[in-house]
Amino acid sequence: MSQLRHRASPSGDLPRFSGRGFASGRAGGVGAVGAVGGANVRRALLVALMATVSARGAAAQAFNYPSLQLPSVSTRDYTAALSGGPGTTALFQWREGWTATRHVEVDAGVIDRKGSQRLMVFAGGSVGQDVARATKDQPLDLLLTVGGGVAVGSGETLVRIPVGLSVGHRFALDQGMTVTPYVHPRVSLDACGSCGVAERRRSEVSLNFDLGVSLQVSPQFAIRAAGAFSGSDLLGTEDSFAVGFAWTPAAMAKQQ
C-alpha cells in the first residue's frame, strides 16, 4: 500500500507538501492581492470623479444672486452688496434713469465659489419699465424687467437671460423714512458652455424669484436685503441671500 511522501520543513515545524496544492495556494494569494488593489483603484477614481463633479456644480451654482430690484424706476443709484449661498459674491449695481418711466442697469462683480480656489467674474445689464404705480384703487407698484448676464471662470461660461416683474408697495415711516417689501419673480433662459465632466453645452428655462425689502433711511441712502430662490437645475438650486447699501446723489434724490 503506497504512502504519501512529504518533505520535512527546514524549521521542523510543519511538513511542506510539494505539488499542485502549493501552486494553487500561491495563485490564490496573488489573485486576492490583485482584487484588493483593483478595489483601491476604483475607490480612488470614484473620489476623483465626485470631486470633479462637485467643483463643476459649485461653479454653476454660484451664478445666482438676488436682483435687489425695487418695483419702481430709479433716477440714479449705486448699490454695493455681498451675497452668500453657494459661495460669496461681491456685487456692484448702477441704475440710471432713461426716461421718467424707464431705467437701465449695469451689474458687475466677483464670485468666490464654495469648494474652489478660482474666482469667477460676471457682468450683466437690464432695462426696467414702469407698468403701474400705486394709487388709492390699486396699491401695488409694478416694474417689468428684461436683462442678461454672463459669468466666466475655470473654462466655463454661464449665461442667463431673465424676464421678470417686480411687485411691491412703499410704506411711509416716521422721520421721512420708507420701507418697501417686494417680490421679483423671473423666467430665465439659462445656458452653460463646457458644463460638467463631459464639458458639453446645456440650456434650460427656469423659474426664479426674490423676496426683498428696502429701508430708505434718507432721500440719498437705503439699506436693501433680499433672498433669491433658484429653480434652475443647470445653474444650481441653492438659495442665496444678499445685503446691500444704495446711494443716490442729492440732485437725483430730489427727482424721485
Q: What is the pLDDT of residues 153-188, one digit of tens each?
A: 877 888 999 999 999 999 999 998 999 999 999 999
Cell numbers representing residue 7 in the block: 518533505
Look at residue 203 and tell me if it is in a domain. Answer: yes
Q: Is 256 helix (H, G, I), strand (E, B) or coil?
A: coil
Is the Cβ–Cβ distance between 129 and 121 less than 8 Å?
no
Look at residue 169 and tell me if it is in a domain. Answer: yes
**Structural domain of 168:** 59-253
Look at residue 214 and tell me if it is in a domain. Answer: yes
As for how many domains the chain has, the answer is 1
Q: What is the CATH number of the domain that holds 107?
A: 2.40.128.130
pLDDT of residue 155: 77
Look at residue 65 and tell me if it is in a domain. Answer: yes
Q: What is the pLDDT of residues 111-133, one digit of tens each?
A: 887 766 678 899 999 999 999 99
> Which has the higher per-residue pLDDT, 42 or 173?
173
Look at residue 150 and tell me if it is in a domain. Answer: yes
Looking at the whole model, is its pTM more than 0.75? no
Of 6-15, 29-38, 73-82, 84-93, which has the strongest mean pLDDT? 73-82
* Residue in this structure with the C-alpha cell 411687485, named with its chain if needed: 167
pLDDT at residue 248 above 50? yes
Look at residue 215 and tell me if it is in a domain. Answer: yes
Look at residue 17 and tell me if it is in a domain. Answer: no
What average pLDDT does the segment 227-249 reach? 86
How far, in Å, CA of 17 to CA of 234, rounded? 65
pLDDT at residue 57 above 60? no
